[in-house]
């Protein structure tokens, strides 16, 4: 998620083994589903951010559903890394906070987080295609920033 982005990235596409997807499916549904027909594509539309966290969050790699940014002088943005706190703070002096720029993962009925699974893309090696579609929003000082979609250029012939 980048602050200068439109909030509608291209889908993320991964080629993963069936065993990996079976583990992921357990986190999506929580119960074993009946046997799938060969070649049938499955998709899930997840409208709760808590459910997205349950699926993708782990103790080793936490899901980063929000990200803070700092605007550079040239108009570009970089990820904000808070300085390590050394415990010393001047009494009575408020901390200086940078301009608050954040991105956040959207997941609600109007724009769900979509997981699509196409099995047997490589049938001999039992590898399928996992496609993730999502949108993210922008906050500037706590106010949602609406951005127009990027214009789609016509195809070149």
**pLDDT tens digit sequence for 69-113:** 888 889 888 888 777 666 566 666 666 666 788 888 888 888 889
Which residues make Cβ contacts (< 8 Å) with residue 7, sequence separation at least 6?
103, 106, 135, 136, 137, 138, 147
Q: At what angle do helices 49-56 and 18-29 cross, to 10 degrees?
A: 140
Please report which residue ranges of the chain form alpha helices under DSSP H: 18-29, 49-56
pLDDT of residue 18: 92
Query: Would you write out the chain's pLDDT as a tens digit for each of its 157 residues?
Result: 777 778 888 999 999 999 999 888 888 886 555 455 566 788 899 999 999 999 999 999 988 888 888 888 898 888 887 776 665 666 666 666 667 888 888 888 888 899 999 998 888 999 999 999 999 888 888 888 876 665 555 555 5
pLDDT of residue 152: 54
pLDDT of residue 132: 95
pLDDT of residue 145: 81
**Contact yes or no for 17/126 (Cβ under 8 A):** yes
User: Mean pLDDT over all residues of the chain?
Assistant: 81
Q: Which phi and psi angles does 18 have, rounded to 5°?
A: -60, -35
pLDDT of residue 110: 82
Q: pTM to 2 decimals?
A: 0.75
End-to-end CA distance of the chain: 32
Look at residues 4, 9, 16, 25 and name the one whose alpha carbon lies nearest to residue 105: 9
């Amino acid at each position: 998620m980048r602050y200068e982005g439109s909030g509608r990235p291209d889908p993320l596409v991964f080629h993963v083994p069936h065993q990996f997807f079976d583990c992921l499916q357990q986190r999506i549904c929580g119960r074993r589903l009946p046997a799938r027909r060969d070649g049938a594509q499955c998709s899930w539309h997840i409208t709760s951010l808590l459910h997205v966290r349950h699926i993708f969050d782990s103790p080793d790699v936490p899901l980063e559903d929000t990200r803070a940014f700092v605007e550079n002088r040239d108009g570009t943005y970089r990820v904000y890394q808070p300085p390590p706190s050394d415990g010393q703070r001047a009494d009575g002096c408020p901390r200086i906070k940078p301009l608050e720029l954040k991105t956040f993962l959207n997941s609600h009925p109007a724009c769900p987080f979509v997981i699509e699974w196409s099995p047997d893309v490589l049938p001999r090696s039992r590898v399928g295609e996992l496609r993730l579609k999502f949108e993210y929003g922008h906050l500037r000082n706590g106010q949602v920033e609406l951005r127009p979609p990027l214009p789609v250029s016509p195809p070149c012939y």
